[in-house]
Structure 1
Amino acid sequence: MLPTRILPIPTLLLLLCSLQTTVSHMIEVKSNTKECFFEDLHVNDKMTVTYQVGGGGHLDIDFWLADPHNLALGKHFKQSTGSVSITAEHDGRYEYCFSNLMSPVADKIVSFNVHGIVYVGEDESIAPMEREIRDLAIGLQSVKDEQEYIVVREKVHRNTAESTNDRVKWWSIVQGIVLFLVCGWQIYYLRSLFESKR
């Protein structure tokens, strides 16, 4: 039987703190409104917000992220998808908002992820295996974000295809009705023309 190696408690805590935390949300932003969220960060904490509009209007939304002093760290206007990454320079509450103020009619469905890494300074005592686990956690998070992006894009494309299919169907029905009406009118007109000549 092979001996098992148990990591000491401080190493285990360090490993858990270094893993990336992720929160995924889907919200509806009503027309002429904005939805804001916040995260409490400490100096050198890292945070990334990725978002994508999955439905409504022209599939666009305004986004911004501000630090505790209300200084904008990232702004996007009328974007369908985006990502903002920051490293906190101050302790405090970092706010990010999705704004649909530019749309007077259409509500928007927004899917977004918030993920971050609690800062852990480089320590010579960290084993290479733990560094690899950190790198794998970051890579795994990137794959998860990409999968969620693909799912939302597939939903948007499916809705577009179904809408196009409905439009083609109704246009074909209208064309058929117009064709029958024109044929009927031509038959009636020709019949009345020949009857009047008799």
Structure 2
Amino acid sequence: MMGAGANVSDVLLLVLLCVLQGCQAVWLSLPASGTKCVSEEIQNNVVVLADYVVISDDHAHPIPTISAKVTSPYGNTLHNQQNVTHGQFAFTTTEGGNYLACFWVDGQKTGNAEISVNIDWKTGIAAKDWESVARKEKLEGVEFELRKLEGAVEAIHENLLYLKSREAEMRTVSEKTNARVAWFSIMSLGVCILVSIAQIWHLKRYFQKKKLI
């Protein structure tokens, strides 16, 4: 029993550490033409903070510039920068869904080497300024770590509620789709029966006119 309890504690600790370190470091290789995007599904009322920087694979000088655009699930532009080598965007989500960040190279890039973009994407608890929280609430040591764990637990609880609501939405959509498919099947069967009856009636009249029956 003690071994099982220890395993559960280890799992919970691992989950909490993952939430506290819940940031994503993404590398994108941009071609001379075209656009590359990254997306993340984020729930409503979540803080998002991201930094991006251009790294030229052939160490060209000056460093090629890029354009960056971030859009919400409903197509609203949250960040739009052009001719930059680095940048940052921060916002609080107002709608749940996939948030899209797209990057492309400005103008014509010389050489065959690709341009790499490093994106440090943080959401929720990972984007929180814990140093400001510690100064404001005068926390230090164990109290500060417990405050971070409390925030992580709240974030996990909110994520579970979000997943539960999404599961309910998907179940509703699935039930509606199944009902529509069932009605369509019934209608198709009814049409087939009516067509068969009409064909039989037409053939019967044809044979009667020809005095074959």
Report whether the alignment pairs 1:43 with 2:44. yes
Aligned to 2:131: none
CA contact (8 A) 1:61 1:77 kept: yes
- Partner letter of residue 65 of structure 1? V
Aligned to 1:112: 119
Report whether the alignment pairs 1:69 with 2:74. yes
Aligned equivalent of 2:107, options 99, 102, 106: 102
Change (3 A) 1:12 1:83: same
Change (3 A) 1:77 1:131: same
CA contact (8 A) 2:20 2:148 kept: no
Ranges in structure 2 where 5+ consecutive residues have no aligned partner: 1-5, 127-142, 152-213
Write the distance in 2 (CA, Å) between the matches of 1:26 and 1:13: 25
- Partner letter of residue 110 of structure 1? V
Post-superposition CA distance 1:89-127 (Å, at most 9, x none): 1011100011115335454221111111159xxxxxxx7
| Identity among equivalent pairs (%) | 19
CA contact (8 A) 2:64 2:105 kept: no
Structure 1 residue 22: deviation in Å?
Answer: 1.3
Aligned length: 121
Report whether the alignment pairs 1:131 with 2:136. no
Structure 1 residue 60: deviation in Å?
Answer: 1.3
Write the distance in 1 (CA, Å) between the matches of 2:110 and 2:99: 30
Write the distance in 2 (CA, Å) between the matches of 1:48 and 1:94: 12
Q: Structure 2 length as normaliser, TM-score?
A: 0.47
For the aligned residues, what is the CA RMSD? Answer: 3.2
Report whether the alignment pairs 1:26 with 2:44. no
Ranges in structure 1 where 5+ consecutive residues have no aligned partner: 1-5, 120-126, 136-198
